[in-house]
């Protein structure tokens, strides 16, 4: 019996690996079947994960990812994932034209602004609470930008800004020159020469910074914590509350005398233009008007500041341009008995343009959000919520568009213009016709394009030029560490580092 037992045992022992093997085969088979049946889900999950990882990478290396993709596809549209949506990049003339001519109910600039500003809505909540009578709960700080598709009521002011601000620039210029001079003299501590109100000025300066930081923090903050986080990040909305406190009574007072004053007595500033162009049928509240002002203020500060900063740094890095620029200013800007006209300074215009081309502060421009799924003529498609944009930095660094694009050539645009005037053929796309810093063209899309092109660009150009003129005339400047990195990236922005130190020494005139 033991033999039999032994045999059974032996057989069992011998069979065990076979049984295991069969079990293993069975399990493997089952897993395989499961995997195959779940393949689509796994593939979706994997691609979701990869997209998320790419999206997070975009936060830290957006411009590099865009540039790399641009170089890979050679002129074709391409997509870059971001944490919240996909960006479709287009570069061909026909697609760009389609982008800017698409109805705003399909592709909208203001929906892009709304996406950014939505985070800011949370920053306002405590202001609603403290100023309920003034600020309606449905009021949005971003004013005109916050509707997805900007209605007729919102466009009047931007139109007014475009025409009135631009036409008043010669009148404003002496005052702007005074502000720039004083700001430089006081090490940027006093930007208001007559120092009427330092509390308001510092709130106005703090506001764009506070909102930009809050908007980014809130994008990654869970919904329920947003009011608290917004309050912490904005120091209990200090800057915004101060601005409202000062501007609302001024607007209220101006509304009382609306239409009763003579032209001479009517103030000449952006607030007045806003009042004059606000709807009369369903009037805006003073708070809504202040929101509009703050939205324009917010939009006008960062890009202008970055443009001027990089231009001053470029003066330090390329001192060979200082002398020719100074000569041009002396000969054409200070001409006796003539208007101090920055339009007479083609070398300065070219230098600033090259500075923007070379150290572009934003890798993308002309953002439009798809409010509905959208398919371009070439078949490139956008899902609802995705953005279409132009990869301006990559295009400006493209050797098929610009000769020797990695080299800083401060007068490249002036030379091309001169060449154009001499009716010579240029090989550069940007040199085919005379160009200016304020152009809003397919070759120079930094201001956006079409009807939405930046209405503040003539003002921005004037201020940047006045800053450079003052620096060139009164100051010697150099970078403390010329080799150190000058910028850092966040999403598509290429922001000047606050650690970069420029040393200014006043010239003895």
Q: Which residues are annotated as a binding site?
A: 454
By CB under 6 A, tell whether 307 contacts ligand HEM: yes
Q: Between residue 143 and residue 162, which ones bind ligand HEM under the rule CB under 6 A?
A: 158, 161
By CB under 6 A, tell whether 452 contacts ligand HEM: yes
By CB under 6 A, tell whether 299 contacts ligand HEM: yes
Q: Which is nearer to ligand HEM, 218 or 388 (CB)?
A: 388
Binding segment toward ligand HEM, per CB under 6 A, in 183-191, 361-369, 405-413, 469-477: 361-369
Binding segment toward ligand HEM, per CB under 6 A, in 65-73, 80-88, 363-371, 474-482: 363-371
Minimum Å gap between C-beta 453 and ligand HEM is 5
3-state SS, one letter per residue, for 4-53: HHHHHHHHHHHHHHHHHHHHHHHHHHHHHHHHHHCHHHHHHHHHHHHHHH
Minimum Å gap between C-beta 493 and ligand HEM is 12
Minimum Å gap between C-beta 396 and ligand HEM is 13
Backbone angles phi, psi at 261, to 5 degrees: -90, 155
Q: Which is nearer to ligand HEM, 233 or 388 (CB)?
A: 388
Residues flagged as binding site for heme: 454
Binding segment toward ligand HEM, per CB under 6 A, in 72-80, 114-122, 338-346, 448-456: 448-456
Backbone angles phi, psi at 383, to 5 degrees: -80, 160
Q: Which is nearer to ligand HEM, 127 or 366 (CB)?
A: 366
**Pairwise CA distance, residues 13 & 27, whole Å:** 21
Minimum Å gap between C-beta 331 and ligand HEM is 26
DSSP code of residue 497: P
Q: Between residue 97 and residue 136, which ones bind ligand HEM under the rule CB under 6 A?
A: 109
By CB under 6 A, tell whether 342 contacts ligand HEM: no
Bridge partners, 387 (sequence order)? 87, 369
- Closest to 421 in 3D by CA, of 408, 411, 435, 437: 435
Residues 6+ apart with CB under 8 A from 177: 340, 466, 470
Q: At what angle do helices 2-37 and 39-73 cross, to 10 degrees?
A: 50
Q: Out of 63, 81, 126, 456, point to the residue binding ligand HEM (CB under 6 A).
A: 456
Q: What angle is formed at CA 304 by the lines to CA 277 and CA 55, rounded to 5 degrees?
A: 100
Check if the beta carbon of residue 494 is closer than 8 Å to that of residue 487: yes
Q: Out of 63, 126, 448, 496, point to the residue binding ligand HEM (CB under 6 A).
A: 448
Residues 6+ apart with CB under 8 A from 215: 116, 117, 119, 120, 123
Q: Out of 63, 291, 455, 496, point to the residue binding ligand HEM (CB under 6 A).
A: 455
Q: Out of 234, 300, 438, 487, point to the residue binding ligand HEM (CB under 6 A).
A: 300
Q: Out of 121, 243, 304, 462, point to the residue binding ligand HEM (CB under 6 A).
A: 304
By CB under 6 A, tell whether 244 contacts ligand HEM: no
Q: Out of 454, 467, 471, 494, point to the residue binding ligand HEM (CB under 6 A).
A: 454
Largest CA distance in the chain: 129
Strands 487-490, 493-496: pairing is: antiparallel
Q: Which is nearer to ligand HEM, 218 or 296 (CB)?
A: 296
By CB under 6 A, tell whether 447 contacts ligand HEM: yes
Q: Which is nearer to ligand HEM, 226 or 465 (CB)?
A: 465
Binding segment toward ligand HEM, per CB under 6 A, in 192-200, 300-308, 312-320, 402-410: 300-308
Residues 6+ apart with CB under 8 A from 49: none
Backbone angles phi, psi at 20, to 5 degrees: -60, -45
Q: Which is nearer to ligand HEM, 244 or 444 (CB)?
A: 444
Bridge partners, 495 (sequence order)? 488
Task: Give me 306's structure tokens.
Answer: 């970055």
Strands 381-382, 374-375: pairing is: antiparallel
Distance of CA 175 to the CA centre of its chain: 27
Binding segment toward ligand HEM, per CB under 6 A, in 14-22, 33-41, 190-198, 360-368: 360-368
Question: What SS3 state is found at 406?
Answer: coil
**Pairwise CA distance, residues 236 & 482, whole Å:** 39
Minimum Å gap between C-beta 446 and ligand HEM is 5
By CB under 6 A, tell whether 459 contacts ligand HEM: yes
Please give the residue ranges that form the binding site for ligand HEM (CB under 6 A).
Answer: 109, 158, 161, 296, 299-300, 303-304, 307, 365-367, 446-449, 452-456, 459-460
């Amino acid at each position: 019996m033991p033999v039999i037992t032994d045999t059974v045992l032996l057989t069992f022992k011998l069979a065990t690996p076979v049984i295991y093997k069969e079990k293993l085969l069975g399990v493997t088979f089952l897993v395989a079947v499961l995997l195959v049946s779940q393949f689509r889900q796994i593939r979706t999950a994997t691609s979701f994960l990869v997209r998320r990882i790419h999206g997070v990478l975009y936060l830290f290396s957006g411009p590099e990812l865009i540039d790399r993709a641009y170089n890979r596809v050679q002129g074709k549209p391409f997509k870059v994932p971001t944490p919240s949506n996909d960006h479709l990049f287009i570069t061909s003339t026909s697609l760009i034209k389609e982008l800017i001519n698409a109805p705003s109910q399909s592709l909208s600039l203001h929906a892009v602004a709304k996406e950014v500003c939505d985070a800011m809505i949370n920053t306002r909540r405590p202001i609603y609470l403290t100023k309920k009578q003034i600020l309606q709960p449905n009021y949005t700080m971003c004013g005109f930008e916050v509707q997805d598709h900007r209605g007729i009521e919102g466009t009047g002011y931007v139109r007014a800004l475009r025409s009135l601000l631009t036409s008043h620039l010669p009148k404003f210029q002496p005052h702007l020159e005074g502000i720039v001079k004083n700001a430089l003299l006081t090490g940027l501590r006093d930007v208001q020469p007559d120092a009427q109100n330092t509390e308001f000025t510092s709130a106005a300066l703090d506001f764009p910074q506070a909102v930009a930081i809050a908007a980014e923090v809130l994008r990654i903050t869970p919904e329920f914590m947003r009011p608290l986080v917004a309050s912490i990040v904005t120091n209990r909305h200090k800057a915004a509350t101060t601005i409202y406190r000062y501007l609302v009574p001024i607007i209220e007072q101006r509304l009382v005398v609306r239409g009763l004053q003579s032209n001479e007595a009517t103030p000449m500033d952006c607030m007045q233009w806003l009042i004059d162009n606000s709807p009369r049928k369903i009037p805006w509240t003073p708070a809504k008007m202040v929101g509009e002002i703050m939205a324009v203020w917010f939009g006008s500060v960062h890009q202008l500041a970055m443009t001027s900063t990089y231009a001053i740094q470029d003066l330090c890095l390329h001192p060979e341009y200082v002398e020719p620029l100074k000569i041009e200013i002396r000969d054409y800007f200070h001409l006796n008995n003539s208007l101090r006209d920055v339009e007479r300074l083609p070398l300065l215009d070219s230098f600033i343009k090259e500075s923007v081309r070379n150290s572009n502060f934003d890798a993308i421009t002309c953002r439009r959000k798809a409010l509905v799924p959208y398919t371009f003529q070439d078949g490139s498609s956008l899902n609802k919520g995705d953005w279409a944009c132009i990869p301006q930095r990559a295009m400006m660094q493209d050797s098929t568009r610009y000769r020797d694009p990695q080299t800083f050539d401060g007068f490249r645009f002036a030379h091309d213009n001169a060449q154009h005037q001499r009716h010579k053929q240029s090989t550069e796309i940007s040199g085919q016709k005379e160009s200016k810093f304020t152009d809003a063209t397919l070759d120079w899309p930094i201001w956006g394009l079409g009807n939405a092109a930046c209405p503040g660009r003539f003002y921005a150009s004037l201020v940047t030029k006045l800053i450079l003129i003052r620096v060139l005339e009164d100051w010697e400047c150099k970078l403390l560490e010329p080799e150190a990195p000058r910028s850092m990236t966040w999403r598509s922005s290429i922001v000047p580092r606050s650690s970069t130190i420029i040393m200014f020494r006043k010239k003895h005139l």
